[in-house]
Structure 1
Amino acid sequence: MFELIKAGGWLMLPIIACSIAAMAICFERLWFLKTNRVIPEGLLAEVWELIRSGEMTPERLREIAEGSPLGTVIVAGVRNARYGRDVMKDSIEETASHVIHEMERYLNSLGTIAAITPLLGLLGTVIGMIKVFTEIMIQGTGNANVLAGGISEALITTAAGLSIAIPALVMHRYFQRRVHTLVLTMEQEAVKLVEVLHGERDDSL
């Protein structure tokens, strides 16, 4: 493996760095965007029961808000429910925008990695071919080892760049879709909360 990296030239270093960054982002986002972590099952019903029984305290609100992204959104609505439906909805939307920003963290970086690694591979290809033609100009076409070395460097960097870019692009699209799905579910839960607290829906959550 080391010989393969060495044969690819110095451009293999940024390509390897991109692969490490992409893997770190993917593992971190897979953990952060787990459904039961973002949208704990039964959280809305638990909040409503605490409100209805009069057991909702500032400490409990803080625990719920810190427990999950959905909890953060729900607590923002509960804290502003007494100011009316419109104010409650505005507070939920404002908080949700910050929550969504956190859910989308590092996705731009992952998309950038998916975009630049093929370009790094292409640059390696160009550099390798320049070396080949330079050696042809100096030595002619008789030295096959020199020509093979330049062509090998070009092919290795291209393959390495594509092997990182393809899975990075797939994971970037996957995370985008996952965030979109989670946000829709959070919106539905928030709407239920608004309607229940303002008497526009029964309390069967």
Structure 2
Amino acid sequence: MEFIIHIFKLYPNLISDLVQGAVYIGSAILFFNALWLIFQAYRHARLIRWNSLSPLINKEPRLDDPLMVVAVKTFHAARKEHSETAYPVSFLVDATHQLVENLFHTRYINKITMITNLLPPMGFIGTIFGMIMIFLAKGDPNSDLNTTGLGAALFTTLMALTCFVILEVFKKSLINLAASRIERALSVQEPISSPPDDVTPAEALHP
């Protein structure tokens, strides 16, 4: 322990740069990985025109299908399978909505959440390191350890929390977008070639 303290005191700037660099690189890797998932999720939840949904209702759902296509295929498959049962259409709509939403969360939202939850601890690593440097200064406000430690504690935490907030905003937006897309897809009833009564053609073609 004494050797580590001696190294800290001897090379405070070098050690601070190494620790901050590790935190910044780790946070950047997590951040851009999450951004890539967010891009894929937005692409998966893109708006599909009503006339493009019509030929797809009797086909099997595929993993690479857009979210609205998955919802429509799943709903009409369930409706066809349970056509002779007493299940009301509203029950099938709710069940399909929950199923497709859970699939979207499993494929994208849960992974994004896992990454975002790792960012604050990454920042806290820098915070703890900075506090150690400050404690080693032993109350000397002019010590390099004090200045270096305070900078490491603040900047690493600020960077990690900023990335966390940005990703959380995107995640909340994705959750709302997915719910909206699923509701729009499930509002299509036979005949599917035209939008529902409460949706104008202009609204059907634009988000």
What TM-score range do you get, normalising by the shorter chain?
0.5 to 0.7
Give 1:130 deviation, angstroms.
1.5
Give 1:50 deviation, angstroms.
5.6
For residue 131 of structure 2, the aligned residue among 126, 132, 135 is 126
Q: How does 1:68-87 map to 2 (within 5 A)?
A: 68-82=66-80, 83=82, 85-87=89-91
Separation of aligned partners in 1, 2:108 and 2:147: 43
Separation of aligned partners in 2, 1:171 and 1:107: 8
Q: Which runs of 5+ in 1 are unaligned?
A: none
User: If the length of structure 2 is used for normalisation, what is the TM-score?
Assistant: 0.67
Whether 2:45 is the aligned partner of 1:41: answer no
Give 1:180 deviation, angstroms.
0.9
For residue 100 of structure 1, the aligned residue among 98, 101, 104 is 104
User: Which amino acid in structure 2 is aligned with residue 48 of structure 1?
Assistant: S
> Aligned Cα RMSD in Å?
3.4
Does the 8 A contact of 1:77 with 1:194 survive in 2?
no
From the superposition, tell whether residues 181 and 97 of structure 1 become closer, same or farther in structure 2 (CA, over 3 Å). Answer: closer
Does the 8 A contact of 2:120 with 2:161 survive in 1?
yes
Give 1:148 deviation, angstroms.
0.7
Give 1:99 deviation, angstroms.
2.6
Give 1:129 deviation, angstroms.
0.9
Size of the alignment, in residue pairs? 178
For residue 7 of structure 1, the aligned residue among 15, 18, 29 is 15
Other-structure match for 1:61: 60
Q: Which runs of 5+ in 2 are unaligned?
A: 1-10, 83-87
Identity %: 7
User: If the length of structure 1 is used for normalisation, what is the TM-score?
Assistant: 0.68
Q: How does 1:164-183 map to 2 (within 5 A)?
A: 164-183=160-179
User: Which amino acid in structure 1 is aligned with residue 121 of structure 2?
Assistant: I
Other-structure match for 2:188: 193
